[in-house]
Structure 1
């Protein structure tokens, strides 16, 4: 009986996959057109960046093995990460240049250097951890973004934030000659009520006052540091807040008394089954549906409008993003199918005006680019590696005649101006011919594929991707036939001649 039940389940799953593939059928030829000759945007060299969660750094509550969520955190405590591991450093160096953001839910619970009396289980960032973090940053040519503790206090004290808890960290950092490139105050402050209780929730007006005090304090130590905020969390379909709660970001920007350097927001297009609230659950179908990608542009447009109205000098950054909230979805976020939303959001983010895109996370959770347990790169790591190798800083506007072929274009990194790189994402189960308009001949082609949509291993140009003693290069892979055609379920980078 057990064998029969298992067989029926397998058969039902195969039928669902077949129906999905059948409905994904699109025309065999799709037009990809260059819409404007001149660039429409420019990204930072560190556009593709990543985060190291505070919980992973100091040994807090994290997601591996957790079946649920408690106050925004996983239910299992992990050991602090070893940032001296040679394999980890090799993997990180291959992704540079990048920012490394250290933040996350426990950034507001942490204590700096010493454990409070009567709190034996308190999270502490020790001087040794802080030293190792800066050694890691320097060794891998990273730039540090740090989320300073906002703190938990009664609203009666709000508007009078002193920052006494962060002064020890600032004093020690300047004494050691450490550099912090970008700072932010608190993590996802629009959702503080959910993590820490309604009495801890700041309003946009009070947060603006606190940020002014914070900016004055940190710039006294690091005059050239950039201030980023407010880092509000946005939910698929819902946006920044549940009604009747107001949008914190708009109120924050409208009440700031100083010039903000970076307007940041957090966005996950899906939620894992751990999440207690799910507006778009991470499923195979959802991860490959063009409809799932629409919210990102909608929220970007709103943030750009607020930025232009209140803080026009500020850059727009996605300060945190991953495939699915609450650690990612097991057996999806760490598989080939997760590559598609990531490639799509990298392309869409650049053309819509984002200067930097910070991936949650570098390591840890089901959504980590690198497995925390094995230190093996996951499929999304290889999308990131190919992007950094092939997509330059100048961004061009192009279009696709079908929504299942996502198309983006950048100058190639060599800056010669003689070629552009097309990122072409085929969300369908069929091979598709591409009719290029406004581009010359294909010079080189790289295709990221897998044997099945939920595979753990991926291939570049038909070859399984592996590091060779810590080294890897584009010329390690066989060249594809230079034909304007996309394999089913593939992510493609084409170097094409520019037409002047």
Structure 2
């Protein structure tokens, strides 16, 4: 099947790190209080350096990845995936994983075109009959991922259950055989948020049973030559509360060593009650760190060293919140999540969703990129997998990976993406979140002293402020040139030694050129 446009190798990038103490400033003096006059706040100066000899973490090249929710299926079809514009937008975020999964995963049946009656059915009267996966739509899904430079991860229906509550794999086997006949390179999962099954159908599946189901799926894959070595991920639990952690423990005991990465998902706010001021709360930003530690504790107890992925993250639950989770304000949560996850050793994070009918997406229903898309594109272009430690004057001792300090100014540092041909190996990328309503000043010292810096400053476009659904880069609006062309992301060069001035309520990237950082000179 031809692609809607050529399929060149896509750009690469990724990674992150570091927080620093509240208002630290030169000479170790205490910062001015938050109620100080705006002018005094603006004069606060921070001295910033990084450890450039070795990385503290290394993420996957596919660190920033994507999720596509099955809710986009309309009467069994995925025709919109043939859009040239959508392929262009997806290609801009490659390489990445594309996870096809969501709440309707477990109400999805593969439709055998040759024998449609054989593949219908579901877990009960609430089964979404129109949300089946037609073989032709599976072709479109795979072709979209392949042409975009994305690796498809497909979540199979886990709610097809036998009378003894074990998994009925017959429909999944039909899909596997069809995909193998097409030689589709796919990785696999089973189900989505199994902790919610009782709410969805009235029938729970505990962790031990889910682990046995995963072993069964592994046994299905092994005899199929195309998938004998295919990757398997799961169990994609929800927020790690007590019942979820119990489910995860049961799963890990049985199948923890079977999966290639252990997965969970996270949403910051209830989409039905979210307010724009919530997106600026530092305590909200830091809730993710506690979740990471809880997941890591369980995983490392049963499978030390096993990779951990955050599969499915969004600003708000319940499909998102119009003019909030799809606005400029949501970027603070998204960019901080990227930094926090990389710094605490999470290998991959998947954004829910690349495109859907809610308000958590990167691309809206008219195929227009939203603020978080442009933020993701900048991240892909500028940030590499190697995470570096950040040092700020006044901070006692060396920063620890995963350290969380509740502050409105957050700084992360990485080696610049080695796939970005504009920057020599050894360059360093900083990205900074300023939640203050005043500007902040940063002086680069030590390793970063007197180097030319390229600034990429992201701010809202128009008069809507934090609610804006369009953004500008260094003062210029970001928009696609045409359906097949993304805009050039032009930096603003800053002279060597110049103090960085971080505007209020902004997100920015700074590439420090020609640092010759040892950690960044080699892959």
Normalised to the residue count of structure 1, the TM-score between the two structures is 0.82
Structure 1, 294-303 or 118-127: larger mean CA deviation: 118-127
**Local SS of the residue matching 2:136:** helix
Higher relative contact order (CA 8 A, sep 6+): 2
C-alpha distance in 2 between matches for 1:143 and 1:257: 23
Are 1:485 and 2:498 matched, yes or no?
no
Aligned mate of 1:338, from 330, 340, 350: 330
* 1:192 and 2:197 matched: yes
Distance 1:220 1:288, change over 3 A: farther
Find the counterpart in structure 2 of residue 168 from structure 1: 174
Q: 1:405 to 1:439 in 2, by over 3 A?
A: farther
Q: 1:81 to 1:345 in 2, by over 3 A?
A: farther
Contact kept, 8 Å, 1:50 with 1:98, in 2: the verdict is yes
Which residue of structure 2 aligns with residue 208 of structure 1?
211
1:437 and 1:175 mapped to 2: Cα distance? Answer: 58
Alignment of 1:215-294 (within 5 A): 215-221=218-224, 222-234=227-239, 239-241=240-242, 247-256=246-255, 258-273=257-272, 281-294=273-286
Moved more, 320-329 or 434-443: 434-443
What is the CA deviation profile of residues 155-175 of structure 1, one whole-angstrom value per residue up to 9, with x for unaligned ones?
x513x4341111111111111
Give the Å deviation of 1:218.
2.1
Q: Does the CA contact (< 8 Å) of 2:456 and 2:492 recur in 1?
A: no
CA distance in 1, matches of 2:322, 2:88: 26
Q: Is the 8 A contact 2:58 2:386 kept in 1?
A: yes
Partner SS for 1:385: helix
**What is the CA distance between 1:211 and its match in structure 2?**
1.1
Matched residue of 2:430: which SS?
strand
| Cα distance between partner residues in 1 of 2:209 and 2:299 | 19
Aligned length, in residue pairs: 443
Spell out the pairing of 1:36-435 with structure 2 (5 A cutoff). 37-59=53-75, 80=78, 82-113=80-111, 114=116, 116=120, 121-153=129-161, 157-158=164-165, 160-180=166-186, 182-197=187-202, 200-221=203-224, 222-234=227-239, 239-241=240-242, 247-256=246-255, 258-273=257-272, 281-364=273-356, 365-372=358-365, 374-398=366-390, 403-414=407-418, 417-435=425-443
CA–CA distance in structure 2, aligned partners of residues 212 and 438 of structure 1: 52
Alignment check: 8 A CA contact 1:103 1:147 kept: yes
Shift of 1:461: 0.6
Partner deviation per Cα, 1:283-339 (whole Å, 9 max, x = no partner): 211111111022211111122222222122421111111111111111101111111
1:23 CA drift (Å): 9.7
Give per-residue Cα distances to partners, 1:30-71, cap 9 Å, x unaligned.
Answer: 3444367421111111111111111113558xxxxxxxxxxx
Per the alignment, in what secondary structure is the counterpart of residue 414 of structure 1? Answer: coil
Check conservation: 1:267, 1:318, Cα contact below 8 A: yes
Secondary structure in 2 matching 1:55: helix
Q: Find the residue that maps to 2:457 and give its secondary structure.
A: strand
Are the aligned partners of 2:453 and 2:494 in contact in 1 as well (CA < 8 Å)? no
Aligned partner of residue 202 in structure 1, secondary structure: coil
Does structure 1 retain, via aligned residues, the 8 Å contact 2:384–2:416?
yes
Secondary structure at the aligned position of 2:384 is classed as coil
- Residue number among 459, 469, 472 corresponding to 2:486 in the alignment: 472
Residue by residue, what CA displacement relative to the aligned partner does 1:114-151 show, whole Å, maximum 9, x if unpaired? 36279894422111101111111111111001101102
Give the conservation status (yes or no) of the 8 Å contact 1:231–1:263: yes
In structure 2, distance between residues paired with 1:93 and 1:405? 32
SS at match of 1:334: coil
Separation (CA, whole Å) in 2 of partners of 1:439 and 1:474? 29
1:22 is displaced (CA, Å) by 6.9
Cα displacement (A) at 1:214: 1.2
For structure 1, which runs of at least 5 residues remain unmatched after alignment? 1-20, 61-78, 274-280
CA contact (8 A) 1:317 1:355 kept: yes
Report the CA distance shift for 1:185/1:86 in structure 2 as closer, same or farther (over 3 A): same
Cα distance between partner residues in 1 of 2:271 and 2:75: 22
Which of 460, 468, 471 is 1:450 aligned to? 460
